[in-house]
Amino acid sequence: MTLTLNNRSRNKESSLTQALRQIQQLNSKIQELEQQHQDYVQKQQNLIPAIAEICISPIQEIQALRILICRGEAACRQYLRSVLVKQGQASKMTTGQMEKPALTKRAKNQGFLQSSKK
User: pTM for the full model?
Assistant: 0.56
- The pLDDT value recorded for residue 93 is 77
**3-state SS, residue 61:** helix
Amino acid 32: pLDDT: 97
Query: How far apart, in whole angstroms, are the C-alpha atoms of residue 66 and residue 70?
Result: 6
Q: pLDDT tens for the chain, 118 residues: list them.
A: 555 657 776 777 788 889 999 999 999 999 999 999 999 889 889 999 999 999 999 999 999 999 999 999 999 999 999 999 999 888 877 766 554 444 443 344 334 334 334 4
Domain boundaries of the chain, sorted by first residue: 39-93
Kindly provide the residue ranges of all beta strands, DSSP E only, lying in 1-118, ordered along the sequence: none
pLDDT of residue 117: 42
Number of residues that this document lists for the chain:
118
pLDDT value for 1: 55
